[in-house]
Amino acid sequence: MEFDRNPIGYIQYFKLNKNDKNEYELLTIESTYGIDLFIGETRYWNQGFGTLIIKIILEYLFQKKKAKKVVVDPATRNQRVIRCNEKCGFRKVKLLPKHELHEGIYIDCWLMGITRERWRNEQ
């Protein structure tokens, strides 16, 4: 991602596969996507960039890719990211204990999701 032609982070989306379904204990993965967002330049934190970018990618996934559900898995200790996801309509689904390796330690994450229906209702 860039702002004023300066790289500030990245975003990616991916369609969930059978391994993801098992890991997240989802009933179905049909048309379910995951997203990852990282704003590495701290001077761009707490200014609404994350919320704006997530709303743009949700619109793309729900309208163009016909996603039925989108999930994210932020670290439980990252309250800033959790609040950003909640502002975009995501809700906590379940705790994922020791889900992600971060600086040599496995940390807990939240599985958060938003359905196309909830997204439409929040527009």
At 28 the pLDDT is 77
**Total of domains in the chain:** 1
CATH number for 63: 3.40.630.30
- pTM for the whole thing? 0.91
**Residue 123, pLDDT score:** 80
Domain that holds residue 75: 2-121
- Write out pLDDT tens, residues 80-102: 999 999 999 999 999 999 999 99
Q: Is the dihedral of CA 85, 39, 33, 94 positive or negative?
A: negative
pLDDT value of residue 58: 98
> Which residues are CB-contacts of 52 (< 8 A; sequence separation ≥ 6)?
none
- Element spanning 49, H or E: helix 49-59
The first and second tokens of residue 10, run together, are 């990245």
27-86 pLDDT tens trace: 777 899 999 999 998 889 999 999 999 999 999 999 999 999 999 999 999 999 999 999
